[in-house]
Chain A
Amino acid sequence: MEGNGQGQLVEVLTGLSKKYKGQIKVFDQDAKKYSIRELRDLGMAHIPEDRMTYGCARNMNIMDNIFTNQYHKTEYSGKVLLKNRKIENRVNELIKEYRVKTKSYRQSVGMLSGGNIQKVVVAREFSTSPAIIIANQPTRGIDVGAASFIRQRILDFRDSGCAIILISADLNEVLELSDRLAVIYKGQFSGVFNNVKNVTEVELGKYMLGIKKDDRLEGIIYEQ
């Protein structure tokens, strides 16, 4: 259910907002001192909720859009110049791997369908082989094929040991993909489930509406 602070939570986790109390740790380091670029270089990937606002520049082509988080790495650029040939090769690989339907990388992103734009976003975020993925509504408003493709990718990353925070309004998606599940009500965790298979939508609903609240969770997130 939207409007319970998911947006703010993601902003804080991804470094877009530094206005928070408490502490976020990335690899045992305080995240507050890192810029967004540094967080990303540490292995954070972020699939934004609103792909047209945060996820792409609609008038730029696929190549320009798919590289914004890694053009500065030594593989793809020198001190001043971009290594265009290498970028081009990599972009073509990514377009193929993520099945973006387009004639060439010169197509501007705004001309693609929603599902294909999302594939560009996902390709960009996943291509850095991240260690942490924060996926906010990764399959919202896209076609079934693209959605199942993206879900499969998320599971592949889970299997390879990547930490993933999935935020979704689609309860089926949450129940299907998650290993652990947490419900936030009024800015606090109201329920955390380690065994997702036994959770029903009805039960989730109670936590989401604040009818039920897990008292053990005051202030703690979860213990492994």
Chain B
Amino acid sequence: MNSSTKLNILRTLLAVFIALLISFGIIFLTSDEPVKAIVQLLTGPLQSQRRFGNVIEAMIPLIFTGVGISIMFAANEINLAGEGAFHLGGLAATYFALNTALPPVISPIATILIAGLCGMIVTGIPALMKIKTESDVLVSSLMMNYLVLYFSTYVLSNILRDPAAGAVVSFAVPSVTQLGTIFNGTRIHVGLFIALAAAAIGYIFLYKTKLGYEIRVTGENREFARYSGINVVKITLVSQLFGGAIFGIGGGVELLGMYNRFTWTSLLGYGWDAIIITTLAKKNPIYVPLAAFFLAYLRTGASIMSRSTDVVTEIVTITQGIIILLVVAEQFLSKYKHKIISKEAKAALVEKEGE
């Protein structure tokens, strides 16, 4: 591990620490029982198996979205249609599962793959629009999310809706397609393994394959990539298709694991969470599970805290905000970075003189 990686880890940890301190400060200022609130926030998720289960359940979709966006951002393309890809993934999984009768094991696999394909379409459209019409991906991908949302709501209320159910929900997905739970007493489902596999595959893809290398070079310097002979247009498209597929798979897995009916009538915000995750994980899929765990833990803790004390869950949003600010602020710890670099340079000089 070289010094810049170490520094990055230190920076992230310190950012988290400072953000937590500030959040604690706010809790002390506003709460009547601050100590209890903080203890609940930090240790709440560990107090029972079910609560820890909640952390892991919440972590699963965050891993998928974190990996997906890491791959898209690696090509330096700010495509935010992941949100929609996740949503459509869930819808497609429901639709496919309700309209096919496949044997167990094959059924969830096929369903999840279809979800991935749909995710690919959602992120692929803004990417294609950029190639064909030079339209800004950021804008078109954000619009895409609303298209997907209202399309899904239409399909849900007109095609998939179960009239027997009280609320606007779809028919229940057959149990052969649903993902089984792994631990009794929790709702942790097989999707955990798929998520961890996605992180590993994402890492191998970006750092060990030709395509991943091309994506990273293109993302770091597009002109340089083109000059080197890389087909940058193809590469940015591939990165967004691949990222979208992982978002879609995430939507499918989340639906088959945590819900048995499609109930999403508003955007779930996983696309935004993904940005927090990828910022913490420095665009490296291998760190995504850690970042996802941290965020899931914090949120579960906050929800426990709000149930047992007078502090509301929104406090975590403040913590998240401060973390992101500090991690992306280039100047944060820049003096320390400077010191490390000059120390290394001096050491190298001494070494050379010694030769």
Contacts and interface: CB of A to CB of B under 8 A. Distances in A.
B87 interface: no
Interface in B209-237: 209-211, 213, 216-217, 220-221, 223-231
Contact of B227 (A16, A84, A107): A16
Interface residues of B, number: 23
A36 B227 contact: yes
For chain A, the bracket of interface size reads 35 or more
A37 interface: yes
B208 interface: yes
Interface string B183-222: 0000000000000000000000000111101001100110
Contact of A48 (B208, B227, B344): B227
Contacts of B216: 60, 64
Contacts of A107: 2
B102 interface: no
B337 to A, nearest CB: 11
Given A64-B216, A104-B2, A82 B208 contact: yes
B217 A68 contact: yes
Main secondary structure of the interface of B (DSSP, over half): helix
A36 B2 CA distance: 34
A81 B216 CA distance: 15
A56 B227 CA distance: 10
Interface in A62-89: 64, 68-69, 71-72, 77, 80-82, 84
B46 interface: no
Nearest to B221: A57
8 smallest CB-CB distances across A and B, nearest first, come from A37-B229, A57-B220, A68-B228, A57-B221, A36-B229, A54-B227, A40-B229, A106-B2
Given A36-B228, A54-B224, 9 more contacts: A14-B227, A36-B227, A37-B229, A55-B227, A77-B210, A80-B210, A81-B208, A81-B209, A82-B209
